[in-house]
Structure 1
Amino acid sequence: MITRRNRTKLSAVIGAVCAMTMTLTAHSGTASARTEDHAATLAALRALQASAGPGAAVHAGAAGDDWTLSVGTGTYGADRPIKQDEHFLVGSQTKSFTATVVLQLVDEGRVALDTPVETYLPGLVTGNGHDGTRITVRHLLQHTSGIASYSPGIPGSVMVQPPRNPDGTYDPRDVVRTGLSSGPVSVPGASFTYSNTNYVILGLLVEAVTGAPAREAVQSRVIEPLGLTGTSFPAPGDRTLPLPAVTGHHGVRLGGFYLWYPAAILDPSLYGSAGAMVSTMEDVTTFYTSLLGGELVSSASLAEMMDAADSGAGLGLSARQLSCGVTAWGHSGAMPGYFSYTLVTKDGRHASAMTNVMFQFNTPSPQMLKVVDSAICEG
């Protein structure tokens, strides 16, 4: 007799067999991207997928010679290799877009990096030991404000839920107040503490200076000029992904066995200018290569963005020294169902990788870094 308990065990075993089989299948994104030409990257991608989601993929290249490798599937239970033009939630890669708009406003003389946030948003950053007259725009961009993060809905993070509107959306000022509800983690400028709250505040700053929501500023100042047709900053209440889309999953790993289930899409207003955007591997590499190529901000502002502190954090960018001796810049992103990372170098080499799962614990960050490092260094 097959009991409910036995059916659960059987489902887990079937899921494990499927997942283990997926790791043995590699797909080439283009005719020129032969797997034998990128053996080290393929091995790293398989290692990522073996410790991550139902599927994993990397889109990489240089000087217009791009290629894509995919293993596993973009939808559990189907044979759908992840493609470079499929949509997914890029999470904190959104921060790079937000920072770009802020630096554009710096170029226009409408914002100053070392001016207190109180100047632009009077009375917002206050209470519980926080003082907006001492926290500058630079502190927010570089995560040295001392303001704690909020991370509801992200597995493995502290769950602090801002109040929700009756329609299921969130007011960014309520989100900021949630982040300010605990005391400072450090004095402003003293140390690096990654915080989503910083970038929600920056989104409100963009709105205060431009008169338009941050998502509209990103759309008109970055997405449209670059022709990023696969990229969007969803409005509050829009929980859909444009097609084609990679299906996001949560995962349970029991030794060598895997069990996947679909991840619900959070309302974009919960993370807003800190993590709400949708894009593709193809588009995010275009964005970062364009940014580092000087197409979006002045050379002075780009130098500020790339001036990484001891933590490796610049202004909306993170620096990473690769195994081949070059430095690359970019950002990672995590949302329920997705984990991604994009890095580019000054000479135009780039790699964007993603997997369609977010684990409760043990996010496979080392394996993800190995994929993008190999893709850039192997060429």
Structure 2
Amino acid sequence: MARLATVVIAAAVAMTTVVPTEAQPAADHADTQAVLNSYQAGAGPGAAVHAGNRAGSWDLYSGTADTGAKRPIGPDDQFRIASQTKTFTAVVVLQLADEGKVELDAPIDRYLPGVVAGNGYDGTKISVRQILQHTSGISEKAGKPKADPDGTYSLRETIRAGLTNPPLFAPGTSWSYSNTNFLVAGMLIEQLTGMPAGDVITARIIKPLGLTRTAYPRGGDRKLEAPYLPGYVGGRVGPFFLWTNATTAVELTAFATAGAMASTEQDMTTFDQALADGKLVSPAMLAQMRTTVPMIGFPAVMHYGLGLIRLDLSCGGQAWGHLGDLLTGHSSGTFATDDGRHAAVVTNGYLVVSNTGGTPREKVIDSALCGTSAS
């Protein structure tokens, strides 16, 4: 990632002053507009919020969706949701658990013999639950996977590369975020269903919920469907920035079930609300999904379940969802509450250099949810 960041900044050809443009605040949401503006000042060229409750939604934006043509980011603009993909992957595993095809506390080696092994790893001592909760000890630091002749990557190869660094801790004794965990979860899905993980996610979640703007990509397919949000990678120094368009720069099979999917703010709030409403897994499995541990190194208001983040709100209560960042130049987050409130935020920038600090995106989510009345 560091090598790519260096190349990206070197490839940027102009330094430009940020000229923010913003939507007129939706009624009663001027406070959230101010928080969004503060977030965008330290994020990408643009940022947007899509929020509301069961009665309806409202939208705010700041900056621009496209550095070459000033326009607002729309709630139906497609972008790479990055690690929000993990929640889809976890839901499928929990559906399979509901069907008795997998046990959460069984060792991953029972289903994927010999896959999580070597270099200090022992799949007989790492449970499916620990894979989904990032308590497996698998390191986030990974070697470089070897591409297939067509330039794509297999799940087995990305997992092999992900296990080249030794465990960070004994299984179940701590927490550390690792994409490799959810690549393993993707292989688990394929082993249990006999189908590509993307096809399973599509059949079990995307189609039943009518998420027409959500997609799991095929190998080699990097395009987004119009209208889409261009993604930019670069750096920001005070009021100046360097951006290069990275929308199609990443081979998505390298991230697969850990971060490859595309969606929109509208579709993501539909998905997270359906999950919160108990439409995707049984009450027992939703309770398992919401059993959390502290996220070491993250803000104290966030806790991790099974492919799901709990966000403690400043106005009281909790919201459930996930965050996502990808070198396609997209950063995002979506959360929903049990009383029907939802909020999604997206920016079209992935910063590799910044000295601005800035407002974190969870503050935007918090403001949007706390500024929306319950349905």
1:48 and 1:277, CA in 2 relative to 1: closer, same or farther beyond 3 A? same
1:216-235 equivalences in 2 (<5 Å): 216-235=199-218
1:293 aligns with 2:259: no
1:32-111 equivalences in 2 (<5 Å): 34-111=25-102
What's 1:167 paired with?
A: 150
Q: Distance in 2 between matches of 1:340 and 1:352?
A: 7
TM-score normalised to the size of structure 1?
Answer: 0.90
Q: Distance in 2 between matches of 1:137 and 1:56?
A: 36
Q: Deviations over 1:279-327 (max 9, x none)?
A: 0000001000000100000000000111112331100101111110111
1:187 and 1:171, CA in 2 relative to 1: closer, same or farther beyond 3 A? same
Q: Distance in 2 between matches of 1:131 and 1:359?
A: 36
1:111 and 1:84, CA in 2 relative to 1: closer, same or farther beyond 3 A? same
**Counterpart amino acid of residue 232 in structure 1:** A
What's 1:328 paired with?
A: 319
Q: Distance in 1 between matches of 2:358 and 2:313?
A: 15
1:207-356 equivalences in 2 (<5 Å): 207-263=190-246, 264-311=248-295, 312-336=303-327, 337-356=329-348
CA apart distance, 1:74: 0.8
**Counterpart amino acid of residue 40 in structure 1:** D
1:352-367 equivalences in 2 (<5 Å): 352-361=344-353, 366-367=359-360
Q: Distance in 2 between matches of 1:11 and 1:115?
A: 54
CA apart distance, 1:9: 12
1:109-188 equivalences in 2 (<5 Å): 109-150=100-141, 160-188=143-171
Q: Distance in 1 between matches of 2:357 and 2:190?
A: 35
CA apart distance, 1:81: 0.4
Q: Distance in 2 between matches of 1:361 and 1:324?
A: 33
CA apart distance, 1:361: 4.1
Q: Is the 8 A contact 1:56 1:70 kept in 2?
A: yes
Q: Secondary structure at the match of 1:226?
A: coil
Q: Distance in 1 between matches of 2:258 and 2:22?
A: 33
What's 2:179 paired with?
A: 196
Q: Distance in 1 between matches of 2:163 and 2:13?
A: 46
Q: Distance in 2 between matches of 1:45 and 1:82?
A: 13
Task: Number of aligned residue pairs: give it.
Answer: 352
Q: Distance in 1 between matches of 2:64 and 2:37?
A: 12
Q: Distance in 2 between matches of 1:254 and 1:82?
A: 23
1:26 aligns with 2:19: no
CA apart distance, 1:76: 0.5
Q: Secondary structure at the match of 1:183?
A: coil
What's 1:377 paired with?
A: 370
Q: Secondary structure at the match of 1:290?
A: helix
Q: Deviations over 1:312-355 (max 9, x none)?
A: 11001011111101111110000110100111111111100010
Q: Deviations over 1:42-96 (max 9, x none)?
A: 0011011111111100000001310111111111121110000010000000000
TM-score normalised to the size of structure 2?
Answer: 0.91
Q: Secondary structure at the match of 1:178?
A: helix
Q: Secondary structure at the match of 1:70?
A: strand
5+ residue gaps in structure 2? 1-10, 296-302
Q: CA RMSD in A?
A: 1.7
Q: Distance in 1 between matches of 2:105 and 2:346?
A: 35
Greater helix share, structure number: 1
Q: Is the 8 A contact 2:292 2:304 kept in 1?
A: yes
**Counterpart amino acid of residue 93 in structure 2:** V
1:364 and 1:348, CA in 2 relative to 1: closer, same or farther beyond 3 A? farther
CA apart distance, 1:27: 2.1
5+ residue gaps in structure 1? 1-7, 29-33, 152-159
Q: Is the 8 A contact 2:109 2:115 kept in 1?
A: yes
Q: Deviations over 1:133-186 (max 9, x none)?
A: 0001000000000111246xxxxxxxx421112211011111101111111101
What's 2:361 paired with?
A: 368
CA apart distance, 1:367: 2.4
Identity of aligned pairs, percent? Answer: 48
**Counterpart amino acid of residue 374 in structure 1:** S
